[in-house]
Amino acid sequence: MDVKSSSALLSNTNFSGFTLRNSDHAFSTSCSYPRSPMAVSCQLSKNSHHENVTSLPLSNTLTNHCLTFDKRNPLGKTFCSAGVCTYDGVAVESHSGIVEEKVGVLLLNLGGPDKLDDVQPFLYNLFADPDIIRLPRLFRFLQRPLAQLISVLRAPKSKEGYAAIGGGSPLRKITDEQANALKMALEAMKISANVYVGMRYWYPFTEEAIQQIKRDRITRLVVLPLYPQYSISTTGSSIRVLQSLFRKDAHLSKLPVAVIKSWYQREGYVKSMADLITKELETFSEPSEVMIFFSAHGVPVSYVENSGDPYKDQMEECIFLIMQELKARGIENKHTLAYQSRVGPVQWLKPYTDEVLVELGQSGVKSLLAVPVSFVSEHIETLEEIDMEYKELALESGIKNWGRVPALGCTSSFITDLAEAVVEALPSATAMSASSDTSIVEEDHDPIRDFVKLLFGSVLAFLLLLSPKMISAVKNYL
Ligand SMILES: C=CC1=C(C)c2cc3[nH]c(cc4nc(cc5[nH]c(cc1n2)c(C)c5CCC(=O)O)C(CCC(=O)O)=C4C)c(C)c3C=C
Ligand SMILES: [Fe+2]
């Protein structure tokens, strides 16, 4: 019952290719799979800025082709500054052996319901994702009936939230704007690229973006998830979809792809966040007295402790880097980090945002600046959860002066940094080998078997629902 459509999702058109030549200069990197196949960590040289960039195959040994760019491209020399990849700056003339490259950038995001009627099917897609509700292997057949049940039961509460922010999620509009801004920033760097948007749980779906990329005959692709920090539940889940699509398609499996897995440590991002915080602090009457309150989206503890999700470590390092940047500007405010938006019956990363707000208020903190850090656009969890629920809770708990830093959106220093990240990642794009990747367990889609599974699963889910343990587990999602 996945809701998918064939509507095209291209964010940008007017693409023109530029000339590149593949050379055989190469560097290699090895990737390991810590417990979960999704939590891939790539061992590149420590000081390499390609550390968080990997190519899609995620096979044990990757070979990356270096590019030789036209001398007229002023950024050519920055492409291959890591590893043993070299750039000789040779001008590329149009003769045989030279490839006309068509560069694509795929922005990955979560997606959100455009209107209230979309809320339940959007929630279904989210809960049907095995990276969001992780069932033991034996119980995987329950995934879709459970997703159906939870989405139907949770929809009324979620709808209230979306109604409070205007009747739908602003994510699609903002992500499209970011795609346009990125295309322009790349153009300013003399890189002509198509920028696509692929959402995980709502339109425009990642699958549609990939079809468009194929139709446009893109020859080199950079995948840029709009999550600064990597989590199995966000970037990991979207990459799993890409792996599955690329594996099944002979053309796509040959397309050179580079995935920027995380970018929270990039100077441009850190400085852009520090700029926003600095500006917002100035709106308080006593800026130095304000507690800087970083609120990150939570994940279940088991992701971090049992499946090697680097999310918590990356989040803490990200906060450290932002605070270091603020200190360098003479801003020495106190700060804290807490995790918001927990859902379901399991333990999530602590401390929880709501609990910390109450403690801070009760302990005498009077001024607080909330900083959302896990996402770069406004969405329901900034506009409703932080701006309404948490603000009310904070004021009730004794905090007098409340402020909130806006999401980065299309902030120009941030978009320029993303464009630079794309440019740096381009040479490490590597063709995916259809046969070498054993990291994904493919679900096969025999329709008769799927139907029987769904029917059997629904009956079993209904029976299981009668058990008190199950009732309380499902209740936790509401
Ligand atoms: C880094 C960001 C995010 C992580 C990590 C994440 C994990 C995660 N989320 C859920 C459940 C829900 N998320 C919902 C909405 C939502 N989630 C994120 C980001 C992260 N999620 C965003 C930006 C949004 C909002 C999208 C929008 O429409 O604006 C929702 C739906 C909203 C609601 O009903 O509260 C749910 C449910 C889980 C279970 C999870 C990790 C396992
Ligand atoms: Fe979420």
DSSP-derived secondary structure letter, 203: S
Q: What is the CATH number of the domain that holds 138?
A: 3.40.50.1400
pLDDT digits (tens, 9 = 90+) for 191-244: 999 999 999 999 999 999 999 999 999 999 999 999 999 999 999 999 999 999
Confidence of residue 51 (pLDDT cuts 50, 70, 90): low
Q: Tell whether 288 is covered by a domain.
A: yes
Residue 313: partners with Cβ closer than 8 Å, 6 or more residues away: none
For residue 274, pLDDT over 80 is answered with yes
Same-domain status, 259 and 293 = no
The residue whose CA is least distant from atom 32 of ligand 1 is: 158
Q: Return d(Cα 414, Cα 424) in angstroms, integer.
A: 15
Of 52-61, 225-234, 469-478, which gets the smallest average pLDDT? Answer: 52-61
pTM of the full structure: 0.79
Same domain, 208 and 304: no
* Ligand 1 closest atom vs CA 231: 5
Whether residue 252 is found in the same domain as residue 130: yes
Judge if 280 and 382 occupy the same domain.
yes
Examine residue 471 and state whether it is found in any structural domain, yes or no: no
Q: For residues 414 and 421, what is the distance between their CA atoms, to the nearest angstrom?
A: 11
Tell me, yes or no, whether 331 lies in a domain. yes
Q: How far is the CA of 340 from the centre of ligand 2 (A)?
A: 9
pLDDT band at 91 (very low <50, low <70, confident <90, very high): very low
Sign of the alpha-carbon dihedral angle for 39, 223, 444, 134: positive
Check pocket membership of 343 for ligand 1, CB cut-off 6 A. Answer: yes
Q: What is the ipTM for the molecules in this complex? A: 0.94
Number of domains the chain contains: 2
Query: Is any atom of ligand 1 closer than 6 Å to the C-beta of 380?
Result: yes
Task: Say whether both 309 and 397 belong to one domain.
Answer: yes
Q: What is the pLDDT of residue 433?
A: 59
* 126 Cβ inside 6 Å of ligand 1: yes
**Domain range for 341:** 267-404
In 29-58, which positions are buried (b, 16+ CB within 10 angstroms) versus exposed (e)?
Answer: bebeeeebbbbbbbebeeebbbbbbbbbbb
Contact between 403 and 290 (Cβ < 8 Å):
yes
What pLDDT does residue 471 have? 63
Ligand nearest to the CA of 158: 1
Question: Does a structural domain hold residue 379?
Answer: yes
pLDDT surpassing 70 at residue 73: no
Mean pLDDT of all residues belonging to the chain:
80
Please report whether residue 178 resides in a domain: yes
Name the closest-CA residue to atom 11, ligand 1: 343
Quote the pLDDT of residue 318: 98
Structural contact between residues 291 and 337, judged by C-beta atoms closer than 8 angstroms: no
Q: Same structural domain for residues 222 and 172?
A: yes
Residue 184 pLDDT > 60, yes or no?
yes
pLDDT digits (tens, 9 = 90+) for 121-137: 999 999 999 999 999 98
Are residues 275 and 391 both part of a single domain?
yes
| Cα–Cα distance for residue pair 124/81, rounded to 1 Å | 44
